[in-house]
Amino acid sequence: MTLTYIPLLAILVSLAAVIPIMLSSKKPNLREFWTILAGVIKFGLVLTLLPGAIEGRSVELHLMDLAPGIPLALNADPLGVFFALIASGLWIFTSFYSIGYVRGAGEHKQTRYFASFAICLSATIGIAFSANLVTFILFYEMLTIATYPLVIHNEKKEAIHAGRKYLAFTLTAGLLLVAASALVYHYTGSVEFTPGGLFQGLELPHTSMLVIFILFLGAVGVKAGIMPIHGWLPAAMAAPTPVSALLHAVAVVKSGVFAVIRVVGYVFGTDVLGAYGLNDILIVLAGSTIILASLIAFAQDNLKRRLAYSTVGHLSYIVLGVALLTPLGMQGGIMHIAAHATMKITLFFCAGAIYVNLHRTEISNLNGIAKVMPWTMAAFTVGSLGLAGVPPINGFFSKWYLALGSLEGDMLIPMFILIISGLMNAGYFFPIIHRAYFKKGEGLEGYGEASPLMVVPLVLTAILSILFGIFPNLFFGLFDLANSIAISLF
Amino acid sequence: MIESHLPAYIALTFVLFSLLIPAFGIWRNELSQPIAVLGSGIAAALSLYGFIDYLNDGAIRYYFGGWEPPVGIEFVYDGLSGFFVLVINVVAFFVLIHSYHIGNREFPGKEMPYYTLAMLMMLGFNGMILTGDLFNLYVFLEISSLSGYALLSIGNKPAPYAAFRYLIIGTLGGTLYLLGVGFLYTVTGTLNIIDMSAMLPQLFDNHAVFVALILMIVGIGVKAALFPLHGWLPDAYTYASSSSTALIAPIGTKVAAYILFRIVLWLFGIELTDAIAPLLTIIGVLAAIGILYGSIMAIAQSELKRMLAYSSISQIGYIIMGLSLANPWGFAGALLHVLNHAVMKACLFMVSGQLRLKEGHSDISRFDDSYRKKYPWTMAAFTISAISMVGLPPLAGFFSKWYLVLGTIDNSNWLFLAVILISSLLNAVYFFRIIEKVYMKNPVSGQKEASDATRDEAPWSMIIPTSVFAIGLIVIGFANAIIVTILLGIYPL
Amino acid sequence: MVDFFVGHYAYWFTIILLCIGLYGILFKKNLVKKTIGLAIVQASVVLFFVSIASKTGDATVTVRDANLPVDQVANYLNPLPHTLMLTAIVVGVATLGVAFTLLIAIYNRYDTLDEKELIDKIQ
């Protein structure tokens, strides 16, 4: 079946682009062409998998054995296709934006930048399509290594320390993942991701399950930004903004929450997790992360850091939704992966545009910039409103389902946390908007919008957020996809 | 025809070439290295042929002079010895290719004795692995050790002293081993491993056997740098010439580990080893301490070779820990790590040799990011080996750790599991430190711009071996399922 | 109790020699004395092997062949340990040779063979 190799091709296409990128380092336009080409092809390939995914079908591919009995296997199941679609689609936007950003900011080592980006996307799609834990570990660690050059891109002291912190957190997480996977293999004899989990019928003692769960939490919680192991995320804001935008709002952190869904739904199984009561830990951690992150966001004056803490909070929306162990909650969580991605990437794009254009990074400096950068601030407003949960932007929709999931599970506290957090979101975003539109700015004479290469993508992602909010199934049937995934896990 | 005599041919090759090199070397010194490369190449080819033959036909027992054991001495080419022989000969082949330019710089004019000693040392190592007779093992042990001491004494000014200290403690170890063999001979009346392994189970609580076991483990443990008998290693590896270290470091401790495997798993068997005292646990704990000790000390080093030496102590700890687990996964993980570590460490030491050749030093605090421009291939090989040492997939190093982790879980040995995980993190610290220095501008000191440096890569005869090993790590990583299936088949219990 | 000492005096000699040698290796500062200690250790093991060659009564003679008349087997010692020890002695000699070569090299470089001074000079 020709369809079988598409998952592999989707992963390899951007890896294949690395060599041309490195070879065309002297010709920037040619080099960027390779990036765009790879992105478009990748997105196209994933798109071909979409119809099957909506119907609930998966595409499997077994490559060689990585260990006796454990193959390097890909499985483009609906959840994987969902994540791959978002990652690859948003990469195209980010690539255009990157071009504008690195050229506008005069960044050095652009070839290393674009090459690393390409490898990162390969790793992300690999994570999306991994069929078992060992393949997953492979791509997870590949993502860590590939993002490191991007985090330390500036090579300033701050960036290098951020890189060390990043590695410390993520490598430890990787090791915990190895230990957890080995334990799963030992107890169940398998590492395959199976809807309903691997522990069906096994009556393991509570302590064992707890230990394995904690190990997994430690492993995926780092990338998913669960407090208190979220520390690398704010530090990683030292990276250039497109890196922060795609990787830390979309690819790396969404890999983390994706991993959470895999662990909850496909390794443990929702009923097993509920039977042992392990999801309560997750609810507590996610809930406190949401509140704490929002509180800390208030205190940040650096725009990117405020966005970083906002990301930490919103990631835990997804984790909370998953932890509720109800179909609607799961659906809300999955939808929020897409929603938060489009909205947050818009906000980061805006932050980058402001930096490149006006060289301003602190919020207190952003008075009156809406006059000179109207499109940027308009997009920023859209993103902020969406994150605060204002309809008709797609953030409202996912939050609605999260709240429904909370009610479905007879739990009121998560719903209250969501409501309070929505208010807090408004609380830390609206002042920025207020400043930009209604305060008098200084030193803004002679400045206009940032380069179209940056502004067009961010306007487009903002429009996408609105469109997906009004028509959730527009273009890609994301709503139905999330629905079918959620139901398949219960 | 070749198959039945194969074990002898491998040893014979080295004997022959250790005679050829002086013969030609006296006439023309420059011929020494090519002849040595030829010799080890033939041996490597024979090892490969032999291992494939073993996979098809089974073990070969070669009786010297036609005298059958237990009267005669035999070479036993079974899965374990075939695997080890293959690993050490292939690694030695590439290291000897690599040593050409280092020889010119670090021991000019002395190539003839150097390569003769190298051939003799490889003879000793191969003999140790192949022999099926305990006393014969001692003889080959001493052959390899003595040539090893001599090889290690060529180098910096402190090298003879470091080699002397190694000689004292190494010979002491060998003598203790010999005493242990004597005890066993007294009790069983035979020196043949296979013969004796049939007799020993009946001697379940014989104290002489127990003491013999301890003596042999301690004696070989010196050679294997088992904590706390590792003291000779850092100095010996640091002060010796780069190619001596590159030759001995990946191979020497592995051969000692082989002997430990043979003694514990084949000769005595697990029940007998643990009969009177929990020796396996003790060995495992010592190995675990060695792992942590080696990693921590490596972080504290500022010189590349010394750092790699401490790292070696740590890595051999993994292998011995795998032995002490005494289950199939631990066994497979340990043997896979023998292969992986031999390749990784050889590559790393070869890279350090290249850096010393080009820069005149291997002091980490003086590394800077001009290396990235000047030695791209060298640093690429270094990076790949470093990432493999840390244990990131899909490189080979990840998989040996994976199987060791599975082995510790099978035994519910959570302490060892934690040790493996923590040491991987520590490995990351000391390797990424170097990668940071080499690939990035130092933001504090503001050195000259890296783009000023021009490419000044090491010669081809040095790039090719390191690149082959670096690529080999990727290949082993992807092919490890095949390798491990073979290794699981070798497990004797 | 007496038998524990007298009946096993060969083993006691071995152990005592071994300890003397070890003492030399560990506690003497001069490198030549260490080497002597090493030689004593090796000699002790040689003595051990030789001592076990003695046997009383009939024993295994590994080759029985009509062409090699061996009568009254009980009167012969076990030859194997002796032959092994010939090899071991040769190994010991070779070791001493290498050791002394290294000592000469050390002396040429540092002008001393005392361990304390050497460690100071190397640092």
pLDDT 10s digits, A410-464: 888 888 888 888 888 888 888 888 888 888 877 777 777 778 888 888 888 888 8
Interface of C with B (CB under 8 A): 18, 22, 25, 31, 34-35, 38, 41-42, 45, 48-49, 52, 60, 62-63, 81, 84, 87-88, 91, 94-95, 98-99, 101-103, 105-106, 109-110, 118, 122
Strand segments (E) across chain C:
none
Confidence band, pLDDT 50/70/90 cuts, at residue C85: very high
pLDDT at C72: 65
Which residues of chain B does C110 touch, with a Cβ-Cβ cutoff of 8 Å? 157, 161
Pick the residue from chain B with its C-alpha nearest to A167: B428
How far apart, in whole angstroms, are the C-alpha atoms of residue A105 and residue B304?
Answer: 38
- Please name the chains neighbouring B, where neighbouring means 3+ C-beta pairs under 8 angstroms: A, C
Using alpha carbons, select from A254, A361, A384 the residue that is nearest to residue A315. A254
Both tokens of residue A24? 């065309």
pLDDT at B468: 93
Helix, strand, or coil (residue A245) = helix
How far apart, in whole angstroms, are the C-alpha atoms of residue B105 and residue B353?
Answer: 10
DSSP of B246-289: HHHHHHHHHHHHHHHHIIIIIII-HHHHTSSS-HHHHHHHHHHH
Adjacent-strand bridge partners of A62: A73
Least Cα separation, residue B190 to chain C (angstroms): 10
Amino acid in position B244? S
In a mutational test of the B interface, the residue from C61, C63, C106 whose CB has the highest number of chain B CBs within 10 Å is C106
Q: Which of B410, B421, B432 sits opposite A175 (nearest CB)?
A: B421
How far apart, in whole angstroms, are the C-alpha atoms of residue B235 and residue B312?
Answer: 13
**Tens digits of residue pLDDT in B386-433:** 999 998 888 999 999 999 999 999 888 889 999 999 999 999 998 988
Contacts B–C by Cβ distance under 8 A: 72
In a mutational test of the A interface, the residue from B368, B372, B425 whose CB has the highest number of chain A CBs within 10 Å is B425
Helix, strand, or coil (residue B391) = coil
Both tokens of residue C118? 């050497």
Average pLDDT over residues B224-228: 90
pLDDT at A200: 80
Average pLDDT over residues B43-47: 93
- The answer to whether residue B387 neighbours chain A at the CB level (below 8 Å) is yes
DSSP of A186-199: HHHS--B--TT-S-
Both tokens of residue A388? 């605060």
Using alpha carbons, select from A10, A222, A22 the residue that is nearest to residue A129. A10
Query: Do residue C45 and residue B179 have CB atoms under 8 angstroms apart?
Result: yes
Using alpha carbons, select from A6, A73, A55 the residue that is nearest to residue A488. A55
- Give yes or no for residue B286 having a pLDDT over 90: yes
pLDDT at A153: 84
- The answer to whether residue B141 neighbours chain C at the CB level (below 8 Å) is no
How far apart, in whole angstroms, are the C-alpha atoms of residue B51 and residue B10?
Answer: 12
- For chain A, give the number of residues: 490
**Tens digits of residue pLDDT in B96-117:** 999 888 888 888 878 888 999 9
Q: What is the pLDDT along chain A (490 residues), one digit of tens a residue?
A: 456 788 888 888 888 888 888 887 778 788 888 888 888 888 888 888 888 887 777 888 888 888 887 888 888 888 888 898 888 888 888 888 888 888 877 777 788 888 888 888 889 999 999 888 999 999 999 998 888 888 888 878 888 888 888 889 999 999 999 999 999 998 888 888 888 788 887 778 888 888 899 999 999 989 888 888 888 888 888 888 888 887 777 788 999 999 999 988 888 888 888 888 888 888 889 989 999 998 898 888 888 888 889 999 999 989 988 888 888 888 888 888 888 988 988 998 888 888 888 888 888 888 888 888 888 888 889 888 888 888 888 888 888 888 888 888 888 888 888 888 888 888 888 888 888 888 887 777 777 777 888 888 888 888 888 888 888 777 777 787 888 888 888 8
pLDDT at B443: 54
In a mutational test of the B interface, the residue from A63, A134, A175 whose CB has the highest number of chain B CBs within 10 Å is A175
Q: Which of B392, B443, B484 sits opposite A141 (nearest CB)?
A: B392
- Here the ipTM equals 0.91
Both tokens of residue B286? 């010592």
- The answer to whether residue B104 neighbours chain C at the CB level (below 8 Å) is no
pLDDT at A202: 79
In a mutational test of the A interface, the residue from B421, B427, B442 whose CB has the highest number of chain A CBs within 10 Å is B421
Query: Do residue B402 and residue A182 have CB atoms under 8 angstroms apart?
Result: yes
- The answer to whether residue B484 neighbours chain C at the CB level (below 8 Å) is no
- Give yes or no for residue C75 having a pLDDT over 80: no
Cβ neighbour number for residue A121 with a 10 Å cutoff: 32
How far apart, in whole angstroms, are the C-alpha atoms of residue B195 and residue B188?
Answer: 9
Confidence band, pLDDT 50/70/90 cuts, at residue B356: confident
- A370 near A377, Cβ under 8 Å? yes
pLDDT at B15: 93
How far apart, in whole angstroms, are the C-alpha atoms of residue A252 and residue B323?
Answer: 38
- B467 near B384, Cβ under 8 Å? no
Query: Do residue B485 and residue A142 have CB atoms under 8 angstroms apart?
Result: no
Which residues of chain B does C106 touch, with a Cβ-Cβ cutoff of 8 Å? 160-161, 164
Using alpha carbons, select from B440, B373, B372, B422 the residue that is nearest to residue A162. B440
DSSP of B36-78: HHHHHHHHHHHHHHHHHHHHHH--EEEEGGGPPTTTS-EEEE-
Which residues of chain C does B71 touch, with a Cβ-Cβ cutoff of 8 Å? 62-63
Q: Which of C84, C91, C118 sits opposite B142 (nearest CB)?
A: C91
Which residues of chain B does A161 touch, with a Cβ-Cβ cutoff of 8 Å? none
Q: With an 8 Å CB cutoff and a minimum of 3 pairs, decide whether chains C and A touch.
A: no
Least Cα separation, residue A141 to chain B (angstroms): 7
Helix, strand, or coil (residue A70) = strand
How far apart, in whole angstroms, are the C-alpha atoms of residue B53 and residue B6?
Answer: 10
* Higher-scoring residue by pLDDT: B384, A243: B384
The percent of residues above 70 in pLDDT, for chain B, comes to 97
Average pLDDT in chain B: 88
